[in-house]
Amino acid sequence: MQDVREQQFTEDFFSTCFISQLKQRLKDQGLDDDIKLSWRKQSDGKVFHKEEKKNKKYIDEL
């Protein structure tokens, strides 16, 4: 259970920091300070999903 809470904290922290950085960049480029950014959550309530590693044999065939 601790691992799930820790992962959620990490995701929340990352998303908050990332949005803050994006807002600052947009502001630096001349956009208004009152811009609102948010993440689109999926049906499972998560924003980020870990990508599955593709089969090495499949990648080698490409």
Specify the pLDDT at position 25: 92
For the stretch 10-56, pLDDT in tens is 777 888 888 889 889 999 999 887 888 877 777 887 777 777 776 65
pTM (2 decimals)?
A: 0.54
d(CA 4, CA 12): 12
